[in-house]
Structures are given as C-alpha cells and as structure tokens.
Amino acid sequence: MNKEREITDKPVEQDPPDHLGADLLRKGLAEDPDYRGEHPEPRFFITDETEDDFGGRMMTLNLGPQHPATHGTLRVILKVRGEKIIAADTEIGFLHTGFEKLAEHMSYQQWVTVTDRMNYMSAMNNNVGYAIACEQLLGVEVPRRAQVIRVILSEFSRLADHIVCNGLAGMDVGAFSLMLWAFERREKVYDLMEAVTGTRLTTSYTRIGGVFRDLPEDFEEMAKSLVEEFRRFLEEMRSMTLGNRIFEDRMRGVGVIRGEDAVNWGITGPILRASGVAYDVRKAMPYSGYERYDFEIPTQEDGDSYARFVQRLAECEQSLDIICQALDDLPDGPILSEDKKISLPEKDEVHQNIESLIHHFKQIMFGHGILPERGREVYSATESPNGELGYYMVSDGEMNSYKTRVRPPSIFHFAVLPQLIEGSMISDAIAVLGTLNVIAGELDR
Amino acid sequence: MRTTLTPEQITERLAKRFAEGVAAHLPPGEGSSQLAIVGRDLLLDVLSFLKSNPELSFDFLMDVTAIDHLHFEDPAIGERFVTVYQLYSTTHNHRFTLKTPVPEDDAQVPSAVELWGSALWAEREAHDMYGIRFEGNPDLRRLLMPEDFPGFPLRKDYPLRGRGERDAFPQYLDSGPVSRQAAGASAEDAPEGPGNGEGDGE
C-alpha cells in the first residue's frame, strides 16, 4: 500500500506533502494574493436607469442557466430595452468537472470513459478522437476492421447529434414535433449503439489500438435498415421545415457569421461550412481511412441560422453515404492492435497462459501501464459533429499523461454568441443559440 | 495556390526571417512533427509573420494552452510554464505548433487577440487554469472557475483533491482555512493519497 502510494502520489512528493491543498493554494497566489483576473465582475449586473425615448428603462435579464432554451447550463446575461438586446455577456463553467486535471491522474486507457462525458450527444466521436491521439502518441497501428467500425459508429453518432440539434432548434422556434421526431430517431441510433457497445449514451467503446469488442452478428442488417429509415426521416424533416413560412421567418437572417469572421474566431464544423468555408478534417487531413470513401463537403452561402440548419441536413446525407460505403467495405480481422504492450489480452488467455497474465499485470498495475516516450507530444484533430475536436497530449514517460488538453469546438462557438445577438430581438437569440449546438459538457469539461 | 509545407519547411522559413530568435525543436519519437520555440519578446512578430506570409498564411489559431513544467523539466524550454499555439492554414492545409516559455515569477505573455479573435477565450481559459496573464487580452475574467476562486487548478502544485468545496473559498469560513501542519500533524502521519475520501466535507 505504501509502495503504491509513493508511485501514485509522485507529483505531490516533491513538495511538502500538504495533500490538503489550502497551503498550496496560497503558495500559488504568493506573488499577488488578491489577483483574481483582470475584470472580476460580469460586465453588468445592475439595471441601467437610463430612460429611452418612450420612458422605458433598460433591464438586465438572465437567459439561463436553467432556461429550457439554453439546452444545458449556460448563462447569457442580456441587457434589454423592451424586446431588443442592447448588450450581452455570457457565463459558463457550471458543469466544470476538471477533466483535464483528471487526465493527469488517470491512466491512458481509463480516461476513455471521461471523454464520453464531454460531448455527450455524440460520445463516440470523442472516444475515437481520443483513441487516435493516444495512438499517434504511441505510434500504434490500428487494424483495418477497427478503423472501419470506428468510422461507421462515428457517422451514426454524427447523425444522431445533427438531427437532435436540428430538432431542438426547431422546437425553439415553434416546431415542437420536429424535436419529438428527432428524439425518436436518435433512440434508434442508441439501440444500435447499445447492441454494439453495451451502453446507450456513454459508449466508452474505443481502446488504444482498436475497439473494445466486435460487432454483433446482425449489425449489418440493423445498420442498413436504420440508414433507410434515416433517408426517409431526413426527407420528412426537410418537407416540414424548409419552405415553411413561420420557420423561415424565424431562422433566416439571424446570427449571420461571415466566412472570414468564422475563420478568425476559430469556428469549425457545420457552422464554418454554413458560412461558405469548406474545411472538414475528414477531407483535409484524413484519419481512420476516410480517404477511401467518396463523399462531399456541402457548404452554404448565407451563414445564418437557416443555413446552419440546412447544412446539418446536408451533412447527414453525406454521413449516410459514408456508412453505406463502409458497410460494404467492412473487412474481417482483428479489432485490437496485436501489440501486447498496448492492448489487453483476452480474459480467457489471462487465465490460461503466463505470458498473457504478465501482459495483463504490466498494463493494469500502478507504475506500469502504457508508457509513451518521455517528451513526446502530439496534437491530433478529428472532425466531431460540432467541428474540429483536438487533443493535445504531452508525455513525461509515466503511466498517465503529463498534459492533456482538449480543444472543444463548442467553446469557440459560444464565445461569439454575444456579438451575434447584440442588436437583435430576444426571440432571435434563441434561434441563434439553437443552431450553434453548444454542448455544456464539452464547453466546461 | 495550395502548397502544403512540412513543419520543417515552416521552421526553416522562420529561421530565415528571425535568425536566432526562433529555435526549432523536434520532440522525440518516430513521426513527431517539428515545432518552434520563440521568446515572448518576439512572439507577436512571429505570429503575425505566420499569419500574413503568403507561403504560410495561417488563418486559424486553433488553440492556445499552456503546460506547467514543474515536475518534468524540459531543457528546450528552461522555464516553468510554456504557452502553446496550434495553428492551421485553410489555404495551404498545413499545421504548426509554436511554444513560448514563460517564467514563473513573471507569468505573462503578449496576447494574440489582435491577430485572431479565437485567442480571446482560449487565452482566457489558459489564464484561468494556469494564471498566466496575456497582456493585451481585454477579457481575462475567470472562464470555467467561479470568479472568486483562488488558485489555478491545472498548475502541477495544485492538488487533485483538496479539503472539500468550502475550503476553496476561505472568505466563506469564519476562521479561514486551518493548515493541517499548523494544527500539529507532521508529514509522516498524513492520510492516504487522493481517493480515500478523508477530509471531504469536514
């Protein structure tokens, strides 16, 4: 026990063993104990008493963190005159859980489960992104079958994310049944995920060097019938919204982002492409064999909420095409890397032969595990449904990473929200927020 | 015209323009991509060169973060902190990583917010987590932590698990937090490491 503690507590060892923290906190602030940041107060809290032309007053209004239209614990502070937003400020961090700090204390394989909790609308894409980053860090080859399985499930996950985002955006502007339809179809995707991974929401499916288990026997049938259903559903969603007068009036011309602004603000994914910039990591720097599939990067011109809605529908079509091609091209073979330093042996093997037992032991015990080269670092980007999901990892040669940074796409999208909604009506703010698809778990980590 | 450059070619161009100011650094291991380390006095010049040079034209600042090298000294860095810039060019489809060492006793670097809007919140988060001040960033409020939170959680000397939530906010306690050492406990009889649950909610 003592031995174990020495190893796991290594970072604390070099300092006085004040595991309680308060002293360390003070030490960190020694140079400037009062320093809390440059602007400790939110920009406005108090109702502005200045009167407008009609004798009305400015009012400060909180949108969130508990408002149903914020889709998560986000707080937008609005300064309004009547229905018009004069200024806006945001506050996030309600869901901050210290995922990046945890990564420095958990082993590489363990942290896969944490990635589920970031963008919980499409956990699979987070799993895959993280696994790819670790594989680059270690220089591991992933078997072809595992790569194709990852592609298929990521695309299903992307479909679920896109249609739920569109459904909720529809609900925000009054098309309530759109949301119900979208959730119904997402449950079908979750059924498929459950059949493959054993869980519906927090999939934790990837392992470094491959995936956790093979596909069930009837997977191809299930997937193909789901693809057919999705094609019909996308048509339904399209016919219900596009060309609908109320829907268009609410969505067109609100939250317009120009292409160059989007690039400047670090906006990626469907929002960037809805502003006319055709950047998609799957095409630009293909991973997991995306270069083998024939698909397009749809773009829109307008950059408004309507364009983002249409963009997500168009991307769903491409995802379905990729899934069909990947299903036809699904090879047989192993699903996990053969490198026994990286991938756990089968449980039966562990019970039956000594080598597997040793490999198992070496990976599980503290102080062993997966050990990348000291000083190695990697920035790996994948295309998640929201945009470029980057993992920046640095190794100091120990069993847990020295630094893991997640570049969540949502945080850059939410940063521009005040600019998008200032000067518009409160109802427009809802229509903009809905199509930005900001996921609080990913935003706050 | 699209001409994708390798990181080596990019550092070459930087070396040609800035001579001694930019040091190339190759992390160990197969397939690692080269990155550049630049002092903070030259940082903005290098960043704006990377953005405006037509051969490089990095229009995306994908991410800004920092590393605390307290327990893992890197001779190439030589300081406790380092800020890391991830760049991407949609024109040429290449990526590049830039690092700037930041000393502990004077933890500040110039902000890139003049060049890329995405620096605003990325730097805000790096400041929130590491306490590095980005000079020129107009909005360095806390991003993820509460605004009255003391300390910077991703620093390596910040423990994974402390006393509990209330103790992180000394202003809400009558007497302020009591150090365990001050209360007479020596280093030897310190409780088990993180995870034993002791000290939570006391």
- Chain B hits for A36, CB-CB cut-off 8 Å, are 142, 147-150
A214-243: per-residue pLDDT in tens? 899 899 999 999 999 999 999 989 998 888
Q: Rounded to an integer, what distance in angstroms lies between the CA atom of residue B134 and that of residue B126?
A: 9
Q: What is the pLDDT of residue B199?
A: 38
Give CA–CA dist A125/A118, Å, rounded. Answer: 10
Cβ within 8 Å of residue B105, ≥6 positions away: A31
Q: Which residues of A touch B162 (CB under 8 A)?
A: 20-22, 25
pLDDT at res. B188? 41
Chain B residues 118-157 within an 8 A CB cutoff of chain A = 118, 120-122, 125, 127-129, 131, 133, 137, 139-157
ipTM of the prediction = 0.82
- As a CATH number, domain B7-157 is 3.30.460.80
Tell me if B117 and A444 make a contact (CB, 8 A cut-off).
no
Lowest mean pLDDT among A12-26, A198-212, A233-247, B143-157: A12-26
In Å, how far is A305's CA from the nearest CA of chain B? 21
Question: Measured between CA atoms, how close is B97 to chain A, in angstroms?
Answer: 9
Between positions 39 and 68 of B, the ones with CB within 8 A of A are: 59-63, 65, 67-68
- Exposure of A19 in the CB half-sphere (CA atoms within 13 A): 23
Least confident of A32-41, A90-99, A150-159, B75-84: A32-41
- Which residues of chain A neighbour B193 with C-beta distances below 8 Å? 5, 8-9, 12, 19
Q: Are strands B108-110 and B133-135 parallel, antiparallel or unpaired?
A: parallel
pLDDT digits (tens, 9 = 90+) for A312-340: 999 999 999 999 999 998 999 898 888 87
Q: For A405-415, write each residue's pLDDT tens digit.
A: 999 999 999 98
- For B133-160, letters b (16+ CB in 10 Å) and e give bbebbebbbbbbbebebbbbbbbbbbbb
Q: Which chain A residues have a beta carbon less than 8 Å from that of B37?
A: none
Which residue reads 């306490």 in tokens? B131
B59/A264 Cβ within 8 A: yes
Tokens of B9: 């070619």
Which one, of B77, B78, B97, B76, lies nearest residue B86 by Cα? B97
Contact yes or no for B141 and A42 at CB 8 A? yes
Residue B91 in tokens: 């024109």
Distance from CA of B126 to the nearest CA of A (A): 10
Q: In chain A, whose CA is at the least distance from the CA of B119?
A: A265
The answer to whether the CB atoms of B145 and A93 lie below 8 A apart is yes
Residues of B in contact with A33 (CB under 8 A): 150
User: Domains of chain A by range and CATH?
Assistant: 103-339 (1.10.645.10)
d(CA B36, CA B55): 17
| Residue extents of the structural domains in chain B | 7-157
Q: Other C-beta atoms within 10 Å of B37: how many? A: 20
The minimum CA-CA distance between B182 and chain A, rounded to whole Å, is 10
Chain B hits for A415, Cβ within 8 Å: 117-118, 120-121
* pLDDT for the residue A132: 93
pLDDT band of B163, cuts 50, 70, 90 = low
A379 → closest Cβ in B97, B144, B155? B97
Which run of H or E residues covers position A184? helix A176-197
